Structure 1
Amino acid sequence: MDDKYLMLYEAFLTCESQDEIRVFLEDVCTYKEIEAMADRLWVARLLSAGYTYEHIEKMTSISSATISRVNRCLIKGNGGYRNVLEKSGTK
């Protein structure tokens, strides 16, 4: 694995609070990038709770393409969404 990716992963592990993660993300990412990540995680939670694409789209105004991508990751991905949702108690 490339050192630059390891450095990024390690940076998250050094954060000791939600506030530290927020500050780090605000420095590293644009507002839109943070929003896109938050949207995807929110969609993963809603899909895991049984909401339909149509309901999620109406509720959130998130595009069906994004909802579909997240659903594909939930079904055929590496388990990242499910792991985070389970650990956070929001599956």
Structure 2
Amino acid sequence: MINEKLRNELIDKLMAAILLLRNPEESYAFFEDICTVAELKAMAQRLEVASMLRQGNTYDAIVERTRASTATISRVKRCLVYGADGYEIVLERMRQKNNEGNGQEVDEDAGA
């Protein structure tokens, strides 16, 4: 479900632009231009926090691995529980891709 307070013409164009990226090299180039290094690191950190929360890691383990603050971990956890399921979609697809790369069968109906 899209947050209508977030949605506008400029953000629609941004999302469409992201979907045009074809590989990691293009993604790196685009995000290096559009974000600061700190913004990219923060987004990567939040994704890792979400993944670790889904795996059942403790806050202490997450802090140790990611150096995220407990406030950041709590915010990500709130998104996992009450958010728009964006993390869930990406984490499930990453899991599926990882399983495919390991030669494991993937149940398309499982997860997101």
Q: Does TM-score exceed 0.5, indicating one fold?
A: yes
Identity of aligned residues (%): 43
Tell me the TM-score normalised to structure 2 length. Answer: 0.77
The residue aligned with 1:50 is: 56
Q: Structure 1: which 5+ runs fail to align?
A: none
Question: Aligned residues, how many?
Answer: 91
Tell me the TM-score normalised to structure 1 length. Answer: 0.94
Runs of 4+ in 1 over 6 A off after TM superposition: none
2:72 is aligned with 1:66: yes
Alpha-carbon RMSD across the aligned residues, in angstroms, is 1.4
2:88 is aligned with 1:82: yes
2:7 is aligned with 1:20: no
Q: Structure 2: which 5+ runs fail to align?
A: 1-6, 99-110
Higher helix share: 1
Distance 2:60 2:26 in 1: 35
Q: 2:15 pairs with 1, 9, 12, which one?
A: 9
Q: Which of the two has higher C-alpha Rg?
A: 2
Deviation of 1:55 after TM superposition, in Å, equals 1.4
Distance 1:2 1:57 in 2: 35
